[in-house]
Amino acid sequence: MTAPLIHKSSTAPAEGPDAAAPAPPVATPGPSRERRRWSGRSRKDFVVFLAMALPNLVLIGTFTYWPLINNIYYSTLDWTLGSASATVVGLQNYVTFFTSEDASKVLGTTAVFTVITVGGSMMLGLLVALALNSKVRGTTFARSAVFAPYVLSGVGVGLVWLFIFDPGYGVLAWILRGLGQQSPQWINDPQLSLVMVIIVYVWKNLGYCAVVYLAGLQSLPRDVMEAAALDGANGLRRFLNISLPLLSPTTFFLLITTMLSSLQAFDLIRIMTPLGNGTSTLIYEAYLQAFGAYNRAGYSAAISVILFAILLIITVLQLRFVERKVHYS
């Protein structure tokens, strides 16, 4: 009799001395130890973050956001500055401003002042930066002289230029009388007073734009400019087709900073035209309403909130649409 065949499964372990021993199970680290290790590190990093950032966050919240919230609340009040009582009027202060005859004048003056000062400072600053970028003697002194007005006190600059523009005894009036001409009434004429303040503001701030543009010009890749010169492109063509597009991040930065600064210009207007004769921008109108002859603190707060909304909208629009045309190399 033959013994029955026994069929072994392929998965059965092999027998004999040459058979490989089964692999021991791989021990995986428990998730609790790994979690504890990373959680301890995360807690330490979080404590360091709080130690570094919390003082700044407290200062920003105390001196920036809390006054902003209070100002929005004050804009809903009919409150005379110094009075112990106030009446809640809701949005009436905003309605009063936009329906008043002075609203169009104030908004128009703000727009004219901002557009001309921003455009003038940036264009003249770029031209000055191109001149300062040349390798000639005295450029270091010229750069310091151009930037110096920007760091000077606005009050001091306003007083000096007020003496220059004074139609009676000013330096400009003295020069014009020597030429047989009469000095314009810079201070008394509303239109000329706005022109006077714009001239002084552009003179004071073009040094800032010039220094920033100069830094941008010195960071341009030299190989690209040399290759364009070898291809026969003249200086104007290299500037328009190469330098200016590569300076778009600098231009975008200056556009935001100078526009925010111009919309908040106060010191020169306060010194040169104390009554705001033709120079009442939004921020100066808010000052006159609160601390002038009106003492309308709630109405002044509403104008300040309107200015804040305009600043926010302009910044968002610039970041949303203008930045698309910026070329980051």
For residue 132, give the nearest of 200, 202, 207 by alpha carbon.
207
Residue 329 pLDDT greater than 50, yes or no = yes
For 179-234, the pLDDT digits (tens) are 888 888 888 888 899 999 999 999 999 999 999 999 988 888 777 777 777 766 77
Contact 201, 262 (CB under 8 A): yes
Q: DSSP secondary-structure letter at 77?
A: E
Average pLDDT for 237-246: 80
C-alpha span between 113 and 121 (Å, rounded): 12
Residue 58 pLDDT greater than 90, yes or no = yes
Q: For residue 7, what pLDDT is reported?
A: 41
Is the pTM higher than 0.85? Answer: no
Average pLDDT for 234-240: 76
Average pLDDT for 44-51: 85
Q: What percent of the chain has pLDDT over 90?
A: 45
The count of residues in the chain is 329
Give the number of other CB atoms < 10 A from CB of residue 96: 16
Vertex 116 angle, CA 115 and 120, to 5° = 120
C-alpha atoms less than 13 angstroms from C-alpha of 91 in its C-beta half-sphere:
4
